[in-house]
Each structure stands twice: as C-alpha cells, then as structure tokens.
A and B are shown apart, each in its own frame.
Chain A
Amino acid sequence: MGITNTQHLERIVDYLKEKRGEDVSLADVVALAEITAESLQTFFETMDTALYRELRDIAGYIADMKVEIGALQANELKNSRIPAAGQELGAIVQATEKATNTIMECAEELMAADASDAAAYKALVDEKMLIIFEACSFQDITGQRIAKVVETLQHIEARVSRFATAMRAKDMTGYFTEQEKARAARREKLLLNGPQLEGEAIGQNDVDSLLSQDNDSAQSDIDRLFS
C-alpha cells in the first residue's frame, strides 16, 4: 500500500513539474484533483482494514466483558445475597446478646439469692439452670446462620475471582473513598488490629512477660517490629 501511495505522489509531482510556468487551466485542476482522490482512496482503504481489525478486537473484548459482568451477578449480590447475609449477621448478634443477657440474669439472681433456706435455694438453682440450658440453644441456630453467611462469601469469592481472572484485573492502589482512607488511617494510628486468630495473638503470659521487661527491652521490641 505504501508503494501505491508513493506512486500517486510521484504522479502529482511529475504533473506539477510538467505544468510549472504554464497557466493552470480548469482541466489541470480537475486532473490534479483526480490524482489526489485516487491517492486518498488508497490511504482510506489501508486505514479501513487496520481500523476494522482493531474495532473487531475491541468488539470481541466488550462482548467477553459483558459475559463476565453477567456472570458476576452483581445485581443479585447487591440486591439479594449481601443484604441477606447482613440480616443473618444482625440476627446472630441479637441472638447471642439475648442469650448472654438471659444467662447473666440467671447468674445474677443466683448470686443475690438467700441460701439460708436450702430447699428454696435448690429449687431456684434448678429453675435458673433450666433457663440457662434453654438459652444455650442459640448456638445451634447461630451456627446455621453463620454457615449461610460463609456460603454467601464463598459465592462472592468465586464470582469475583473469575471476573478478576477474565479481565486480567490489576488492583488499584490507594483507597476507594476518603472515608475508607480515614478509617484505615485511624486503624493504623490507634493500633486497632482487632481480635487475632489463634496462632497470631499473644497470650496473657506473653503480655505479662512484655510488661515486666525494662524500657530498653521494650524499645528493642518496638524497633524489631518496625524493622
């Protein structure tokens, strides 16, 4: 195609050389226009083929992306699964709080009870123990609720993982919102690590050991943490 373009340009140059110094007629202008049009035609044909190939690739990518976005089931997650998981977690908090209150009320009543009448005290203990056993049944229901939440998390994980792989997604650095950034900064500044899993947390004996060390030792521990 490049050769063809060069040939057209050479024709224009030759034509202009040939006509130099002469008056330019309408026929000359038309002839020049024809050569230029032929030249542009070739250029557009070349461009069309490359452009078509690019656009076809982009269309294919968009079609794949639409399939992957559909497979993500984002609307179902947003409108159904995530709110349902939130409700399950809310119910777990309520159930554990209610059970804890019931158990603590029983314990407080027993602590405050008059034990001088042994028979009456025994009857009270039996009654409160029965209530405590009943309250402990929350564990079975919360266990089932937690299983549902875990299932939702696995469902989301599978879809997000497939989407990220298909899109060859690279993680954005930084934070999604200013609020998220502020929360992360607060957590870091105030050492809000939250409860640790077994194996990650230190026990009371380790805490006691750290507290009993002199200040120089504590500083070396800090230095080690930041090194």
Chain B
Amino acid sequence: MSVDMSMPILVVDDYNTMIRIIRNLLKQLGFEDIDDASDGSAALTKMREKKYGLVISDWNMEPMTGYELLKEVRADPSLSKTPFIMVTAESKTENVIAAKKAGVNNYIVKPFNAQTLKTKIDAVFAE
C-alpha cells in the first residue's frame, strides 16, 4: 500500500520546536496537510473533529501522555484504525513493549533524522 501524500497528519508534542522540526521534515517528504496538538487530550479533540491518516505523537506530555492517547485511540471504535507512530525520548525496553502491546504501529527514538521518519512512515503503510 503506497503512502497517500495528501492525508492529514496530526503531530502531537508539548514542545513547539519539535512540532516545527517534524512539520518541516514531513513537508520535505511531500506531506502538506499537517496539524498539531500540545498533548493527548487536545489531540483526541482534534481527532474527533477531523479524520487523520496518521498520528505522530510524543510520549511524555501533560496532562495526557502519548501512551494514554494511544490507548484511548485504540479503545475508540471510530479512531481505532488510525495509524500511530510514537516519536519519543523514552528509550527503555519496557516503553517499547508497552507501546507495542497498546497497539502502536511504529516507534522512533529521539533524536532521529528525516530518513528514519520516512522509513517508519513507509513501513506503517506497507503493513
């Protein structure tokens, strides 16, 4: 399955600079429709208003973490199929395993580069 470059992507991070970095990388990869949210609860609100083709989320945010967002998304029948990539500095084995159990599609450890982001997005849509 090829990647739809016109799909809306939601970037979730509490750090504006990281949102800006991911947004620029996604633009470089050819994506144009990019929204952002500063935590899991703000992301959920946006996801219930607009259908996103991909969510790229940080883990450690307040009040709702990316891990909680992932579980909420997978528990909501209207959102559960949304591809979800975790992009985070949480680099312990237990985090990766927990995210996998919760239904994450891929997991990127910060710091990362454009090539890693592209590879992981391609991998998610190749599933």
Q: A interface vs B, CB < 8 Å?
A: 97, 100-101, 104, 107-108, 111, 190-196, 200-204, 206-207, 210-211, 218, 221-222, 225
Q: Tally chain B residues at the interface, Cβ within 8 Å.
A: 31
Q: Is the interface of B mostly helix, strand, loop or mixed?
A: helix
Q: Which residue of A lies closest to B18 (CB)?
A: A100
* A190 engages B100 (CB within 8 Å): no
B74-123 contacts to A, CB under 8 A, are: 89-98, 100-101, 104, 106-110, 112, 116
* B100 engages A210 (CB within 8 Å): yes
B21 to chain A, nearest CB (A): 7
Judge whether B35 is part of the interface by a CB distance below 8 angstroms. Answer: no
A135 to chain B, nearest CB (A): 13
Stretch at the interface among B1-9, B42-50, B60-68: B60-68
* A101 engages B17 (CB within 8 Å): yes
A218: which B residues are within 8 A, CB to CB? Answer: 97, 100-101
* B98 engages A104 (CB within 8 Å): no
Judge whether B20 is part of the interface by a CB distance below 8 angstroms. Answer: yes
A-B pairs with lowest CB-CB distance, top 9: A201-B91, A195-B89, A210-B96, A193-B92, A190-B65, A207-B107, A100-B17, A191-B95, A204-B109
